[in-house]
Amino acid sequence: MRDGFYYSTGEIITFFDADIKNISSDFIKGLYQPILDGEADFVKGSFGRKAGRVTELVAKPLLRMFYPELSKYSQPLSGEIAGLRKAFEIVEWEPGWGVDIGILIDVYRAGLRVIEKDLGFKDHDMKPLELLTEMAYEVAETILRRAVRDGKITSEEMKTLLKQYSEIRE
């Protein structure tokens, strides 16, 4: 995503998960239209299925603790996003699974207008439970790093939480 942004030239940049089976022009337009209409600087897509396991068990609880203003987003890990170039210019790009939540926290923290847009039904492959462990850890680590950066916890507290989580994973 970082490389895609750096090589892009447009003023509106969109990203979609690669495994969407029913992507359509309406799905794509639904994501960037609020920006064209002047309603938002950044759009987080949501879709017609329940939020995933990592969202419900890791992202939402940590957001409620450290970024309660972001707990209103039903699918904060959705890979469907669109934003003005200025939104992506301020992002501290995360490697791996933490990228989506890192972007959301960064653009919101920058005071940009962020909305969530229902894009309808999204048909895609869900990962088996055993493959979600690393994803959950990377999402948690990203939120906790942002919480340290933003003065919500100390780096020592973050290390303790991540150590405890690592012990649970093993």
The pLDDT tens digits of the residues spanning 65-124 come to 999 999 999 989 888 899 999 999 999 999 899 999 999 999 999 999 999 998 876 666
What is the mean pLDDT of the segment spanning 41-62? 85
Whether residue 24 is predicted with pLDDT greater than 80 in this model: the reply is no
Q: Please give the helix or strand (H or E) that residue 15 lies within, else none.
A: strand 12-15
CA pair distance 83, 13, nearest whole angstrom: 5
Residue 43 token pair: 């759009």
Q: Which of 27, 123, 11 is nearest to 80 (CA)?
A: 27
Label residue 19 by pLDDT band (50, 70, 90): confident
- How much is the pLDDT for 17? 78
142-153 average pLDDT score: 96
Residue 166 pLDDT level (bands cut at 50, 70, 90)? confident
50 pLDDT band, cuts 50/70/90, is low
For 170, the token pair is 């093993």
Asked if the model's pLDDT at residue 145 lies above 70, the reply is yes
Q: Say if CB 57 and CB 129 are below 8 A apart.
A: no
Residue 168 has what pLDDT?
A: 65
C-alpha neighbours within 13 Å on the C-beta side of residue 19: 7
Of the pLDDT bands very low, low, confident and very high (cuts 50, 70, 90), residue 61 is very high
Q: Which of 68, 38, 74 is nearest to 55 (CA)?
A: 74
The single residue listed with the structure tokens 């923290």 is: 109
2-169 belongs to which CATH class? alpha beta
Q: How many CB atoms lie within 10 A of CB 45?
A: 24
Q: What is the pLDDT of residue 123?
A: 63
